[in-house]
Amino acid sequence: MSSHRRRRIKIVHVVGARPNFMKVAPIMKEMDKRPRRFEQVLVHTGQHYDKNMSRYFFEELHLPRPDVYLGVGSGSHSEQTARVMVGFEKVLKELGPDYVLVVGDVNSTLACSVVASKLWIPVIHVEAGLRSFDRTMPEEINRIVTDRLSDVLFTTCEDANRNLKKEGAPKGKIHFVGNVMIDTLIRYRAESRKSSILSDLGLTKRRYAVITMHRPSNVDHKYTLRRLFEAFHEIGGHLPVVFPAHPRTVKQMKKFGIKHDKKKVRLLEPLGYLDFLRLYMDSMFVITDSGGIQEETTYLGIPCLTIRENTERPVTIKKGTNILVGTDKDKIIRESLKILRGKGKKGAIPPLWDGKAARRIVDVLKTR
């Protein structure tokens, strides 16, 4: 064997919550094509772990079983972050990787970035530079801290590049590669067509709306949640509305005594990735507070009404199909009715959202 042959790069991938799986999957698949260059270890912190939020996603996205499962479970932001840090430190000391790769903006991303940095292990952040400029959002704190600690910053859009440069990130750290969420969507779009979710629910393509909602700013306040359901019920009087409900949302509805009209809003249990992709891909429009859904609807050309006052993904508004409607009941109804009249927002696909982001990421890392 040649003495000049480069050794493999050992990378620890961190996943903790459902959106992480869709982001890590294409990167791991791309690294699998270069087994002589990369050694991969998958760590699942267990931030989200039930059959629909985790196990089904691993199966459907063909992710390998996690090499390490920390099982931190739920808790306050501080409790969850602390448990991840304690467990992950032991993992890194045992494994001694060359890099830790984190994605998105969940608590696991922040916690693992801090631990790696203190052990002088370089951090790679996929989906860096996104900013809502709203520090009341826990995710915003996670983004800012993770980006400051990271040694390699992979961005999804030009806005993210500008944010990082304004914050003083060295140009050499920033790599504009596109959106790995879109890689996964493109890969599984055809497979999702096999899902029977529409027929199971008696829905007709482009004749129904989908709701997703889980953020504390929407579900932890009785008046806000009640007002949102009043809007949903009004919309449900015009077309079927389906709502795969996050367990947190259902819990808060019960706590606040908020009833829903089953004829106007159909609550579903959380869905697997392929069923959910089929459901919103064939909808007339989506109402959401999710960041990833804003991106995916923009790619698919589906009108999206975001029930937030701000977004860390402004490209979905500038170029895409997204409209910020906040929690204004009248605005939500008004924009929904516009879509029903065929006047929904049209958009374009942002640059490099082409299904090749993971390849670009791996091309950068293989030269390090």
Please give the full DSSP string across 216-252, using - where no structure is assigned: HHHHS-HHHHHHHHHHHHHHHTTS-EEEE--HHHHHH
- Rounded Cα gap, residues 247 and 260, in angstroms: 15
Give the count of alpha carbons within 13 A of 192, CB side only. Answer: 21
- Record the tokens describing residue 93, joined without a space: 């000391």
- Cβ atoms of 153 and 164 closer than 8 Å: yes
- Cβ atoms of 260 and 276 closer than 8 Å: no
The beta strands (E) that lie in 202-353 are given as 209-212, 241-244, 266-268, 285-288, 304-306, 322-324
- Rounded Cα gap, residues 319 and 350, in angstroms: 7
- Rounded Cα gap, residues 25 and 20, in angstroms: 8
Task: Examine the residue annotation and report whether 214 is marked as an active-site residue of this protein.
Answer: yes
Which of 301, 318, 295, 302 shows the shortest CA–CA distance to 162?
A: 318
- Cβ atoms of 298 and 323 closer than 8 Å: no
- Record the tokens describing residue 340, joined without a space: 């029903």
Bridge partners (DSSP) of residue 267 are: 243
- Cβ atoms of 200 and 298 closer than 8 Å: no
Find the catalytic residue in 77, 175, 214, 221.
214
Contacts of 360 (CB under 8 A, 6+ apart): 175, 177, 178, 352
- Record the tokens describing residue 134, joined without a space: 């709203």
- Cβ atoms of 303 and 344 closer than 8 Å: yes
- Record the tokens describing residue 359, joined without a space: 């390849």
- Cβ atoms of 355 and 349 closer than 8 Å: no
Catalytic residues: 214
